Structure 1
């Protein structure tokens, strides 16, 4: 399933309901799951995070709803709704230097170690950094002149994971999405990345969460990123230095992963800081991050001052 969060209201000026709603997308149509549940006389969790936390039985109810009759009032054209971030994760764990070519470009442009890291390089983004499809990435010229992009496959945790083996790691995955790991390169502080990567709007997330059953091999997905239509990043998840199972095992060795938590699995090469000369985002730019089988996450860059 392709699950999402949306608000209703047509760009042409139709009625607007600002309350976020849980939906599923199929063939360009958004199905309002709460409306479907009410029509069928069943109850489902009211939002995506609650659905993830409720476990497989709740997901089975949603599948059954989508397999039945679909009343017209519960279906919207995707262009007639506004997509939001799928949910607000309790934790966003970022992975740095997880593609070999990015390790090389970072050592040249960002003064990181040129040697491949022996273990995953981890950092966090706060939930306040999350923003949704179409929402602005905030460029504050008082804080940065080096606003950068990073297209990343996002792993959404579905079951509590603590001290999980690599062999059991995928049993704890709910699904997959996209995170654009926006970074203010000139706000790294004594090697610490939190402020560089954690400011408001620095975690565009979405547009959907695709359940794990629909992506049998997440380690073979093309991903690319474009700025103003020009391709900057192009790679495949098979080039990760530490694959998803290793990441889950390593993180959960000391940190409990909870349902709804997101792991941003790292960026391939092609970031702005690695360009010759360097290129960075400025107000007026549009950045599009695409991951195969998931979709495209598009965000404008706006002046925050």
Structure 2
């Protein structure tokens, strides 16, 4: 398998997901963790590499690489960089008049500086020339090493054990800022000044002693040298950068640039708007970027997001999982032998199930596990997009965290599709399956409606849809005479985080049916006679598609079964169990 990874953007994953590029570079296949959760951050994948590398799963769909936007492979952290690390470049730099860092031509110790994380962009993204900051714009093609595991005070002899792989980096530089400020950070860190990519390639795929770097400007070769000609080799650089400083998985260390930069030419030649810079390194592909229009406004800077759940509230029930999600989980009667776990629906929360948990007296015989899936209730969203498969993987993670191998799975609405998806891929973990108004793959009209609703919520918040969804989602009797039930539904919708709701709408819109034939657990389907979201054709389809499935009809009930008629649901659930 070719271990060339890219971070790429699609309509469903606007913040990016990780995929593998095929041998000829024409296709990308998304990667999933063994749980089914998409790999969305290369730093996390690298951190867990030893545990998960042999169990990563190919996802769907495989796409033509020309149809996706390739992002920088690693983002969110400042980049460690090395100056004057090729002898000929050290000589040209010292003679250029732009070197204020040292009186010596060649350094006695590695020259280390950083580039701001906000300067990182991917291949194909324009480099903004910042005309109000610099008129001396230059390129520096570099081999960048990616650190694979944490370490401090690493010895040269052990350094290669800490290398995960490599990528290409263009250390774009404002030369007069580099010169005037003595240290390099200011001249190196302007927004868009760190193009990186296109691939991150695992070390096992690379011949470190036979890699040639070539930089071209508008097709003209400017730099060409073996990356084996470093003054300070990679083990020395890792030893130096880790002295008293802990290197982290996913850290990027740019190893320096060879001779041939613009200030080394006679006369010096600086980059101009429209120039195209290509940096190619053996085994790593070609990083290609164009200098943007100097008359344009600076591009919007992508914010750096902290690696913590986005909540300011203390929540002792918030659990962190290996996949990177943080879920609010509540467990009652934890010593019981049997487990029942509840999965709420779109715009729902774990509290939706409180009436039937009590009415069915479940605590007398079950470990009761309730959780808010990500972006709902008290569980923060883990990214900018998600999928039904991701939600389903959370069931397994939550069960593992409470020490339960098998459970009765109860799912409402979208939670029903999440439950069937989990049951189809993990039949041995499902003792029984209970579906309340479950949904299946949506028809085109449903996909369009969900997509529009997601945008409405993002534009106007939950208040923009809460009343419409609540009114349509319950029965005529609930609208007219079950005021408390109606209030519970409306409150559940209003208190759902808007972005989490929007992401769930899009996840539902993009979902496929699982292989229902793989579900082996006895299944009970609740059907409201006024349920527009789960109408009779959907109920009939699921009853026929799932072995051992039976249906309970609920009179005068819309889509919120457990709230509109909790007594009947509780009675039938208890009998089924």
TM-score normalised to the size of structure 2? 0.48
Counterpart among 201, 218, 228 of residue 210 in structure 1: 201
When the two chains are superposed, the root-mean-square deviation of aligned CA atoms in Å is: 1.8
For the pair 1:2 / 2:4, whether they are aligned, the reply is yes
Contact 1:55 1:159 survives alignment (8 Å): no
2:26 matched to 1:21?
no
- What's the offset of the Cα at 1:264? 0.4
Alignment partner, residue 95 of structure 2? 108
**More deviation in 244-253 or 50-59?**
50-59
Write the distance in 2 (CA, Å) between the matches of 1:113 and 1:224.
29
Listed as ranges, the gaps of 5+ residues in structure 2 are 298-577
Q: Is the 8 A contact 2:139 2:172 kept in 1?
A: yes
In the other structure, the counterpart of 2:227 is 237
Q: Counterparts of 1:262 and 1:47 in 2: how far apart (Å)?
A: 14
Larger CA Rg, structure 1 vs 2: 2
| Alignment pair present for 1:81 and 2:68 | yes
Distance (Å, rounded) in 2 between the aligned partners of 1:239 and 1:194? 25
2:132 maps to 1:142: yes
Q: Work out whether 1:47 is the aligned partner of 2:41.
A: yes
- Name whichever structure is richer in helix by fraction: 2
Maintained 8 Å contact 1:163/1:249: yes
User: 2:247 and 2:208 mapped to 1: Cα distance?
Assistant: 19
Residues 291/89 of structure 1: CA separation in 2 closer, same or farther (3 Å cut): farther
Alignment check: 8 A CA contact 1:155 1:264 kept: yes
The secondary structure found in structure 1 opposite 2:143 is strand
SS in 2 for 1:250: helix
Deviation at 1:269, TM superposition (A): 0.3
Hey, what does 2:546 align to over in structure 1?
Answer: none
Alignment partners' CA distance in 2, 1:115 and 1:83: 38
Q: Which residue of 1 aligns with 2:28?
A: 30
Structure 1 residue 44: deviation in Å? 5.7
How far residue 43 of structure 1 moved from its aligned partner, in angstroms, is 4.1
Question: Counterpart in 2 of 1:167?
Answer: 157
Q: Give 1:3 deviation, angstroms.
A: 0.7
SS in 2 for 1:169: helix
Match of 2:185? 194
Match of 2:173 among 167, 170, 183: 183
After superposition, give the CA deviation of every residue in 1:102-147 in whole Å (9 maximum; x if it has no partner): 0110111024534321110010111101001101111011111110
Q: Residue 44 of structure 2 aligns to a residue in which SS?
A: helix
Is the contact made by 1:44 and 1:51 (CA closer than 8 Å) also made in structure 2? no
How far does the alpha carbon of each residue in 1:252-297 deviate from its partner, in whole angstroms, 9 at most, with x for none? 1132111111000000000001110111111111111111100000
**Deviation, structure 1 residue 41:** 5.8
Q: Is the 8 A contact 1:89 1:262 kept in 2?
A: no
Q: Deviations over 1:153-182 (max 9, x none)?
A: 010111012100111101111110001000
Aligned partners of 1:245, 1:19: CA distance in 2, in Å?
A: 33
Q: Which has the higher contact order (CA 8 A, sep 6+)?
A: 1
Cα deviation, residue 241, structure 1 = 0.3
Shift of 1:89: 4.7
Task: Determine the C-alpha separation between the residues in 1 that align with 2:161 and 2:121.
Answer: 28
CA–CA separation in structure 2 for the residues paired with 1:144 and 1:45: 38
Any stretches of 5+ residues in structure 1 without a counterpart? 10-15
**Is the CA contact 1:45–1:58 (under 8 Å) kept in the aligned structure 2?**
no
Q: Secondary structure of 2:157's partner?
A: coil
Structure-1 residue corresponding to 2:301 = none
- Within 2, Cα distance between the matches of 1:194 and 1:183? 10
Q: Distance in 2 between the 1:129 and 1:19 partners?
A: 17
